[in-house]
Amino acid sequence: MRNATICLLAAAVLMAALPATAQVTSVRLADNIVMPQARVAAVRPGQQVQVSGVTVGVVILEQAATTTMDIALTNPTGSRQEAQLLVPVPDGAAVSGFTFQGAGAEPSAQVLPAEEAIATYKAIVARVKDPALLEFAGYNLIRSSVFPVPARGTQKVRLTYEHLLPADGDRVDYALPRTESLDYSIPWQVSVSIRTKRPISTVYSPSHELEFKRISPNAVNMQLGTKAMNEPGPLQISYLTEGGDGVTASLLAYPDPRIGGGYFLLLAGLPAENGKAEKGKGPAVKREVTVVIDRSGSMAGEKLLQAQAAAVQVLEGLYEGEAFNVIDYSDSISSFAAAPVVKTAESAEKARHYIRQLRSGGGTNIHDVLIEAVRQKPAEGMLPIVLFLTDGLPTVGVRGEAAIREAILKANTHKRRIFTFGVGYDVNAPLLDHLANNSRAVSTYVLPKEDVEVKVAQVYRRLSGPVLSEPKLAVLDGAGEVTTRRINELLPGRLPDLFEGDRLVLLGKYTDGGPLRFRLAGDYRGKSRTFRFEFTLDKATTKNAFVPRLWASRKIGVLVDEIRQAGAAGTSPSVIAAKAAADPKMKELVDEIVRLSTEFGILTEYTAFLAREGSRIEDREWVRYNADNNLRLRAQGDRRGIEGVNQSFNNKSQQRQTVGNRRNEYWDQNMNRVQVSTVQQVNDRAFFQQGNRWVDGNAINAAGGPKVDQTVQIGSPEFMKLLETLVRQNRQGTVSMSGEILLRVGDKNILVK
């Protein structure tokens, strides 16, 4: 929690600080001012009520949302305290309930419109020189009546408010205001229930990881996971209702004149009903699954038993009429059948027997077994999938990483999806990642002491019910012709297949102009289908700051992977360094990674040094040298072992990122989770801590660097004018941090003291 600030808040002070046109109802002086989203402020020395927990329940019926907050307040002192509750809420919110325990005056709460709320915040800041509450300037504000908090006891407060959610076509958005400060440590338990008349296509949160449970096509329940309870930032949820037969889509946009347009997030969902042609008859698009099992000597014992169990489980999960094969390898290669066979009771029993008799021994011939797997004659009309397991490096036959990559790419004429599973640390992680990424699949790593069967099952469950395969996205002009002028740098560049329960989250840049028109085509449940979408950009807003941040994180992941895959030739670190130094493309990639990292506050294991105390973040050559050195030695040099696997974890997470990562969590080279607390992502800006000062990433990247052009004192008329500008830009949170703040505003670097 942010440091408590002693506040003296009186009605006379409020009125004196307000402009003549502002009207604020006089309020009774309370011992404490409580804002569960951000802070508790004591009025008198020694008085400090604490927020000990917040539980939120949200019920959404169509577009009407009812939010109930249960707030636990603890009084550690020996005397009864008084407290006043301030809760920022969205536009149009109305209080429908406010209660607390114990005797006292009849509780009440009122909603202050945004103008009165800002005036209240300004009055407090002008008096105490603490801008923390300004994060919520621009919101309406619920202010409660005064109530007692018992000595050394807890007061439980329940506040309920209702509001109509904004809709954009088939998309409805919900937001729960909360601080973006990393210092905030109070866990929030949040549950959300959505009920609609039309089926719900998909639900998406760009801010927090949610646990979903679909009750019916028209009902979804969700809650914050254990880890997400302590994640800062407003909770944002969007859901799409089905608008027709097939894929439903919506667009969220962030305007940025610096790039000649802005950033967009295209969210697409599938129908709520599953893809089965008939009940019990299997999916409309059948699967052809080949399980490739490593039976080399290093797989002896528990690992091979788990791999065998995983293969049997995959077999059991197939519907009759779908196809399968089992290929096993060490030095040599064997297979259950010469080509995938249709599953029947008889063929399944024979396959189970074949799997159980596998024994370990010999080396690892990755090249030949993958060639064998992808060259099989495909089953007619089925989606071809390979599940490839290995626990080691290639030791037999062709062993060069680049040679194996090129051979599989050339041999995979049937476009089989190669889902790779690296068992343990002694694998070539970049190779497994490349094989998966370039075949519309994903790589998975089974860490020591993890169960192979469980990991395979987690991936395989996702592959139930193919809905849209071989998807391709095109952008159209006003005449319906394909154009490449309106969007660029779409991520991911190659769209994945979509299975039951999947959603598509695409990010990219757009140029100014008229509406964005998209054409999505592919094999939809066994038939060639085309879907067209048109979106206007009139609702683009800087409130959608998560859009460019997610795009930048994915972009960094792509750039890092490009550097990483360039090391496939495999040579010594000194040779890699010499080649990289002479390669102008390497410099371009490193420079772009550094620029994006500082502008958006997105750190990786290669740029984490930017957040360390004493870093010379303003020295561009020093920053580039360190980033270049890390990327050459780690991304290109470490290709196997735990150091290779940890990089794959981080890189995959970034390239597929759909949820914010405010704490910049990543896996270090010992597979430990690391968090960064000296970089703050606030609104659409990033700040780096240098001593007692937070420095705006845009100031760092400015032509003149982070020099101070103007100094403003908190609470001064100049500061209040700056605040008004920031509220209009939805950037008021940038002046809410403790300590000095060097902020880039327009073409100036303003130091707020």
Q: Report d(CA 113, CA 111) in Å as an integer.
A: 6
pLDDT digits (tens, 9 = 90+) for 238-251: 999 998 889 999 99
Note the helical H segments in 166-256.
none
The residues, any chain, with a CB within 8 Å of residue 724's CB and separated by 6 or more, are: none
So what's the pLDDT on residue 35? 86
According to DSSP, residue 416 is labeled: -
- Helix axes of 584-600 and 546-565: crossing angle, nearest 10 degrees: 150
Which of the residue ranges 23-32, 203-212, 379-388, 628-637 would you say has the lowest mean pLDDT? 23-32
CB-neighbour burial class of residue 264 (10 A; exposed 0-12, middle 13-18, buried 19+) = buried
So what's the pLDDT on residue 574? 57
Do the Cβ atoms of 316 and 301 come closer than 8 Å?
A: no
Give the mean pLDDT of 572-582: 57
So what's the pLDDT on residue 365? 96
So what's the pLDDT on residue 28? 44
Tokens of 532: 């067209």
Half-sphere exposure of 482 (CA within 13 A, CB side): 5
So what's the pLDDT on residue 19? 39
272: left (phi over 0), alpha (psi -120 to 50) or beta: alpha
Nearest to 507 by CA among 652, 660, 656: 656
pLDDT at 118 over 90: no
3-state secondary structure (DSSP) of residue 622:
helix
244-277+467-535 CATH choice from 3.40.47.10, 2.60.40.1230, 3.60.20.10, 3.40.50.1100: 2.60.40.1230
So what's the pLDDT on residue 687? 96
So what's the pLDDT on residue 582? 59
Asked if the domains 11-240 and 286-391+415-464 are classified in one and the same CATH topology, the answer is no
Give the mean pLDDT of 403-415: 96
Which of the residue ranges 281-285, 345-349, 578-582, 624-628 would you say has the lowest mean pLDDT? 578-582
pLDDT digits (tens, 9 = 90+) for 410-427: 999 999 999 999 999 999
pLDDT band, residue 733 (cuts 50/70/90) = very high
pLDDT at 383 over 70: yes
Give the mean pLDDT of 213-218: 94
Nearest to 48 by CA among 4, 103, 18: 4
Measured between its terminal Cα atoms, the distance across the chain in Å is 21
pLDDT digits (tens, 9 = 90+) for 594-605: 999 999 999 999
Do the Cβ atoms of 130 and 6 come closer than 8 Å?
A: no
pLDDT digits (tens, 9 = 90+) for 256-293: 999 999 999 999 999 986 544 445 566 788 999 999 99
The CATH code of the domain at 11-240 is 2.60.40
Structure-model confidence comparison of residues 590 and 281, the more confident one: 590
Q: Report d(CA 93, CA 733) in Å as an integer.
A: 21
pLDDT digits (tens, 9 = 90+) for 660-686: 999 999 999 999 999 999 999 999 999
Q: What is the DSSP string of 636-648?
A: IT--BHHHHHHHH
In the chain, domain spans: 11-240, 244-277+467-535, 286-391+415-464, 545-674, 678-753
Structure-model confidence comparison of residues 580 and 152, the more confident one: 152
Percent of the chain residues topping a pLDDT of 90: 72
Do the Cβ atoms of 386 and 374 come closer than 8 Å?
A: yes
Percent of the chain residues topping a pLDDT of 70: 90
The residues, any chain, with a CB within 8 Å of residue 528's CB and separated by 6 or more, are: 521, 522
pLDDT at 95 over 50: yes
Distances (CA, A) of 204 to 181, 317, 504: 23, 28, 10
Give the mean pLDDT of 734-752: 93
Could you tell me how many residues make up the chain?
A: 753
pLDDT band, residue 105 (cuts 50/70/90) = low
Give the mean pLDDT of 428-448: 96
pLDDT band, residue 571 (cuts 50/70/90) = low
pLDDT band, residue 575 (cuts 50/70/90) = low
So what's the pLDDT on residue 23? 39
Give the mean pLDDT of 83-99: 90
Half-sphere exposure of 523 (CA within 13 A, CB side): 14
H or E element in which residue 119 lies: helix 114-128
Q: Report d(CA 689, CA 645) in Å as an integer.
A: 30
pLDDT at 12 over 90: no
pLDDT digits (tens, 9 = 90+) for 23-45: 333 434 466 778 898 866 655 66
Q: Report d(CA 117, CA 522) in Å as an integer.
A: 51
Do the Cβ atoms of 552 and 694 come closer than 8 Å?
A: no
According to DSSP, residue 81 is labeled: E
| Residue position matching structure tokens 């927990």 | 53
So what's the pLDDT on residue 134? 87
So what's the pLDDT on residue 568? 87
Nearest to 459 by CA among 351, 321, 310, 352: 310
The CATH code of the domain at 286-391+415-464 is 3.40.50.410
pLDDT at 356 over 70: yes
pLDDT digits (tens, 9 = 90+) for 493-526: 999 999 988 999 999 999 988 899 999 999 999 8
Tokens of 370: 């993958």
